Amino acid sequence: MSYDTQPKASHFIDGGYVEDTSGTPIAVIYPATGEQIATVHAATPAIIERALASAQRAQKQWAAMTGTERGRILRRAADIMRERNRDLSVLETYDTGKPLQETLVADATSGADALEYFGGLAGSLTGEHIQLGEDWVYTRREPLGVCVGIGAWNYPTQIACWKAAPALACGNAMVFKPSETTPLCALKVAEILHEAGAPAGICNVVQGMGEVGASLVTDPRVAKVSLTGSVPTGKKVYAAAAAQMKHVTMELGGKSPLIVFDDANLENAVGGAILGNFYSSGQVCSNGTRVFVQKGIKQAFLDRLAERLSNAVIGDPLDEATSFGPMVSEKQLNIVQDYIATGQAEGARLVTGGERLQRDGFFLQPTVFADVTDNMTIAREEIFGPVMAVLDFDTEDEAISRANDTEYGLSAGVFTNDVTRAHRVVAQLQAGTCFINSYNDAPVEAPFGGTKMSGVGRENSREALNHYSELKSVYVRMGDVEAPF
Ligand code: NAD
């Protein structure tokens, strides 16, 4: 292999790479071949201590800079990320197995968007002035302090940037723990921020499993925790943070509905369903995995879907012609295969796919089930793989109530050419992020996050700034103090 996937060391702390080989070794596996391409070591207590101490020290210096100065550094980091997009994309492909065709346009590029956007906003952070007769109140928007970010494995560069960019813009320091499955990319984000001028310690990356995340969450020096992960992990992290009244952002799982009405543009609806189920081999939290199709269009939808899926180019993710890559790990592949078996056992009709590919790596065919009913396991649980469940419906009210009949509330989509119906339906869907005649767009300018069990708080947009800062009110009395005694 010509590309060097082994990082200089496991952790990035206080402006440089740091190693402690006494930490548990973590093998990094290239999902397309199953080969080990790097080893990192989980953070020991000494490493965690170094990361938190340096973040705490650096944060004060960082917060003392003006927002414009901080923003300039973030925007410089965005430029470096764009200049190195190809190298960063290749690394993302090795880390996750996602096709280069995707990583070239969706990972370092969206990380750079976040750094640029929040870099631009950093100088605009203000409080307000509230006049009260002669007296007045002013508010100061202050950073929280040391923030911890914990990532999932599907978008390692993007998740690191979506958390670090708003945190740093507000004057916080970040200690980020990537997923143990994809530990490589976040190191590059910290390295680039440092190269762009961020003071040593402002963005640290430490490796490890859940225990390392848990010790970061419970450390009293940490003011805020932002997690991207599953609902079970979210419950644990939220509870641990609550014990010390810490701020949280929880970006968790979903089982999102995508509703296709009879009058929809068929080609666009099929395209939306493909994007919302098979991009990144289906390993996207906001995927519209319950596709409700109105009965009049059902057969045409399924026929066209199967036709277009047969054009997927499955294979070497480093070949830019490949449009569908492997699952991230053998473990995830097994989980998804079990769901496919359950779908068949519970009576869903397999329209296409369902098989593991007979080759190295963790490849699974894009899979579609039709005639799925609301109570089937594949319609209720998050699968996090390339498995689409198609459900039929008759009326608008029925589609809305069935779409909302889930504990999750991350995303939802509607395909229809009736403009009033589109807005009426979206207004009733219980989801944090909705799409009309589209699916899975996530521009940094728009808030992103979930309702119900899918999460707390929002990433991206101006709204993210509120989740990485707090307001201090200052009452100023101009006259004498009147005390009762
Ligand atoms: P996971 O919950 O297994 O792990 C997420 C992260 O939490 C990992 O870094 C893990 O090491 C860490 N962790 C585990 N236990 C912990 C603990 N007790 N304390 C602190 N940290 C702990 O999730 P995953 O399998 O890596 O990712 C898939 C899940 O993430 C799916 O449910 C998916 O929907 C969700 N996800 C959500 C979004 C979103 O933005 N809403 C984006 C991507 C993925």
Amino acid code (one letter) for 215: S
Ligand 1 proximity of 328 Cβ (cutoff 6 Å):
no
CA of 179 to the centre of ligand 1 (A): 7
Contact partners, residue 362, CB within 8 Å, separation at least 6: 31, 34, 97, 326, 327, 328, 329, 330, 332, 333
Query: Measured between alpha carbons, how far is 372 from 375 in angstroms, rounded to an integer?
Result: 9
CA of 247 to the centre of ligand 1 (A): 18
pLDDT at 63: 98
Atom 12 (ligand 1) nearest CA: 210
pLDDT at 465: 98
Measured between its terminal Cα atoms, the distance across the chain in Å is 82
pLDDT tens digits along 282-323? 999 999 999 999 999 999 999 999 999 999 999 999 999 999
CA of 436 to the centre of ligand 1 (A): 28
163 is catalytic: yes
459 is catalytic: yes
What is the H or E stretch that residue 74 is in? Answer: helix 67-83
* Three-state secondary structure call for residue 414: strand
pLDDT tens digits along 63-105? 999 999 999 999 999 999 999 999 999 999 999 999 999 999 9
Query: Measured between alpha carbons, how far is 360 from 31 in angstroms, rounded to an integer?
Result: 9
CB 480 within 8 A of CB 144: no
pLDDT at 2: 62
Alpha helix positions (H), 184-245:
185-195, 210-218, 231-243
Q: What is the reported pTM?
A: 0.97
Which residues, in sequence order, are bridge partners of residue 436? 414
pLDDT at 3: 82
For the chain, what's the residue count? Answer: 485
Ligand 1 proximity of 437 Cβ (cutoff 6 Å):
no
What is the H or E stretch that residue 102 is in? Answer: helix 100-106
Contact partners, residue 67, CB within 8 Å, separation at least 6: 122, 123, 124, 125, 169, 171
**Token pair 């805020």: residue:** 224
Could you say which of 147, 161, 185, 285 is catalytic?
285
251 is catalytic: yes
Closest among 63, 77, 50 to 194, alpha carbons compared: 77
pLDDT in tens, the chain (485 residues): 568 999 999 999 999 999 999 999 999 999 999 999 999 999 999 999 999 999 999 999 999 999 999 999 999 999 999 999 999 999 999 999 999 999 999 999 999 999 999 999 999 999 999 999 999 999 999 999 999 999 999 999 999 999 999 999 999 999 999 999 999 999 999 999 999 999 999 999 999 999 999 999 999 999 999 999 999 999 999 999 999 999 999 999 999 999 999 999 999 999 999 999 999 999 999 999 999 999 999 999 999 999 999 999 999 999 999 999 999 999 999 999 999 999 999 999 999 999 999 999 999 999 999 999 999 999 999 999 999 999 999 999 999 999 999 999 999 999 999 999 999 999 999 999 999 999 999 999 999 999 999 999 999 999 999 999 999 999 999 999 999 99
Ligand 1 proximity of 153 Cβ (cutoff 6 Å):
yes
Residue 358 DSSP label: S
CB 400 within 8 A of CB 306: no
Query: Measured between alpha carbons, how far is 284 from 153 in angstroms, rounded to an integer?
Result: 10
Ligand 1 proximity of 460 Cβ (cutoff 6 Å):
no
C-alpha triplet 213, 219, 221: angle, nearest 5°: 125
Ligand 1 proximity of 350 Cβ (cutoff 6 Å):
no
Ligand 1 proximity of 251 Cβ (cutoff 6 Å):
yes
Using CB atoms within 10 A of its CB, is residue 304 exposed (0-12), middle (13-18) or buried (19+)? middle
185 is catalytic: no
Query: Measured between alpha carbons, how far is 231 from 215 in angstroms, rounded to an integer?
Result: 19
Residues 360-386 as b or e (16 or more Cβ within 10 Å = b): ebbbbbbbbbbbbeeebebbeebbbbb
